[in-house]
């Protein structure tokens, strides 16, 4: 019954959104995230797809029925639940990303709680990471699956996925960029756009108007800025590759995940120094929300690694 219900909900969401997107493609092009994360959709399509998904699942299960029930033990491995784990990670990650984005701009949320929460703008990456972590942790506890081996298994993928996500930030120009770039030094041998980039046609619609542009997004930044999203992609791929190389060399489950937290915290803290973000005054020290979380993640990684190492020695 739980499988039928979950498939029905998933099918409803697919139909509810998919048909609406096809019917209002111009609106989707103008604000993809806003449409996807809103309550807009086609009700009849959601019901049809929901029933269809339930019917397909029921048919699959019914087809495997034996003429006479037989009792037997079945070994179910954690990777057999990867679909459910992915859905839990996605949904709890989106909620976490939204909650952390709201914390960064509480006045806007108080002015329009429903509109702000269901708008497509504002998704904090660290909120998604923490929300996904809590959601998956809860699921694993419910199904008696050891947490640390799973955490180690996903650590390299989390870092690679972060880099891929930053590529999306770069190519769309969603506002995830750095401060105004300094003059390019003479020793710089890489392409010019890796030092400074003006993000033409950025979806954030920041900067100055582009002459002769007839598209929806016709702005570019002036002055050009550091393309921090590209820097983060490079660092994420390097860290992800390193985690993959050492994944079988660590003696205790959980070590790889804590090493991932250390690198993640260091990478994000460093990039924030040249990145645009809201800063908060904490005991006379100006830090961004991402820097505060990065420090916390780094310390968690160091402490966790130390505790596991002591446990291994004892």
pLDDT digit string, tens, across residues 53-92: 999 989 988 888 888 888 888 888 888 888 888 888 888 9
Cis peptide bond N-terminal to 223, omega within 30: yes
C-alpha closest to that of 133 among 183, 78, 90: 90
Both 175 and 269 in a single domain? yes
Domains in the chain: how many in total? 2
Single out the residue in 41, 72, 103 at which a domain terminates.
Answer: 72
Q: Is 238 exposed, middle or buried (0-12, 13-18, 19+ CB in 10 A)?
A: middle
Determine contact, residues 152/254, Cβ cutoff 8 Å.
yes
Which domain covers residue 278, as residue numbers? 146-313
Task: Look at residue 27 in the predicted model and tell me its pLDDT.
Answer: 85
Single out the residue in 42, 72, 102 at which a domain terminates.
Answer: 72
Residue 47 lies in a domain: yes
Question: Residues with Cβ < 8 Å from 296, sequence gap 6 or more?
Answer: 265
Q: What integer is the mean pLDDT of 110-116?
A: 71
Residue 81 lies in a domain: no
Both 167 and 66 in a single domain? no
* Residue linked to tokens 């908060």: 280
End-to-end Cα spacing for the chain: 46
Both 50 and 175 in a single domain? no
- For 99, which DSSP code? H
Cα atoms in the Cβ-side hemisphere of radius 13 Å centred on 297: 23
Residue 134 lies in a domain: no
Determine contact, residues 312/252, Cβ cutoff 8 Å.
yes
Both 182 and 48 in a single domain? no
Express each pLDDT in 255-314 by its tens digit: 999 999 999 999 999 999 898 877 766 666 778 878 888 999 999 999 999 999 888 887
Express each pLDDT in 215-235 by its tens digit: 778 999 999 999 999 999 999
Residue 136 lies in a domain: no
Task: Look at residue 61 in the predicted model and tell me its pLDDT.
Answer: 85
Task: Look at residue 117 in the predicted model and tell me its pLDDT.
Answer: 67
Distance of CA 79 to the CA centre of its chain: 21
Q: What percent of the chain has pLDDT over 90?
A: 51
Average pLDDT score, the chain: 88
CA distance 23 to 26: 9
Single out the residue in 72, 96, 117 at which a domain terminates.
Answer: 72
Asked if the model's pLDDT at residue 121 lies above 70, the reply is no
Express each pLDDT in 21-64 by its tens digit: 999 888 887 777 778 778 889 999 999 999 999 999 899 888 88
Task: Look at residue 98 in the predicted model and tell me its pLDDT.
Answer: 83
Residue 275 lies in a domain: yes
User: Which residue did the predictor score with more confidence, 120 or 202?
Assistant: 202
Residue 104 lies in a domain: no
Q: How confident is the model at residue 110 (pLDDT cuts 50, 70, 90)?
A: confident
Token digits of residue 250? 């660590």
CA distance 124 to 137: 20
Residue 103 lies in a domain: no
Both 161 and 301 in a single domain? yes
* pTM of the complete model beyond 0.75: no
Express each pLDDT in 142-184 by its tens digit: 989 999 999 999 999 999 999 999 999 999 898 889 999 999 9
Asked if the model's pLDDT at residue 129 lies above 90, the reply is no
Helix (H/G/I), strand (E/B), else coil: 300: helix
Both 305 and 160 in a single domain? yes
Q: What integer is the mean pLDDT of 180-207?
A: 92
Task: Look at residue 53 in the predicted model and tell me its pLDDT.
Answer: 93
Q: Strands 279-282, 208-209: parallel, antiparallel or unpaired by DSSP?
A: unpaired
């Amino acid at each position: 019954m739980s499988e039928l219900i979950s498939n029905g909900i998933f099918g409803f969401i697919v139909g509810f959104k998919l048909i609406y997107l096809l019917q209002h493609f111009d609106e989707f092009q103008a604000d993809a995230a806003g449409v996807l994360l809103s309550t807009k959709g086609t009700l009849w399509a959601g019901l049809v797809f929901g029933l269809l998904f339930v019917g397909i699942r029921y048919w699959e299960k019914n087809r495997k029925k034996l003429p006479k029930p037989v009792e037997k033990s079945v070994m179910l491995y954690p990777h057999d639940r990867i679909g459910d784990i992915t859905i839990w990670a996605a949904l709890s990650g989106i909620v976490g990303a939204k909650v952390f984005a709201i914390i960064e701009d509480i006045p806007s949320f108080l002015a329009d709680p429903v509109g702000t929460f269901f708008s497509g703008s504002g998704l904090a990456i660290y909120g998604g990471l923490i929300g996904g972590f809590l959601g998956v942790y809860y699921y694993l506890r419910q199904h008696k699956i050891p947490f640390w081996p799973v955490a180690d298994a996903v650590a390299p993928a989390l870092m690679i996925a972060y880099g891929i996500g930053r590529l999306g930030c770069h190519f769309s120009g969603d506002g995830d960029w750095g401060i105004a770039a300094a003059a390019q030094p003479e020793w710089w041998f890489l392409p010019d756009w890796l030092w400074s980039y003006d993000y033409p046609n950025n979806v954030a619609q920041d900067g100055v108007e582009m002459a002769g542009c007839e598209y929806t997004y016709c702005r570019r930044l002036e002055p050009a800025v550091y393309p921090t999203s590209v820097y983060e992609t490079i660092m994420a791929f390097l860290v992800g590759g390193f985690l993959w190389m050492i994944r079988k060399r660590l003696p205790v489950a959980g070590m790889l995940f804590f090493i991932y937290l250390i690198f993640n915290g260091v990478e994000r803290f460093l990039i924030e120094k040249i990145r645009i973000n809201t800063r908060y005054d904490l005991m006379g020290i100006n830090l961004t929300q991402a820097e505060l979380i990065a420090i916390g993640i780094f310390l968690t990684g160091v402490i966790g690694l130390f505790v596991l190492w002591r446990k291994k020695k004892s």
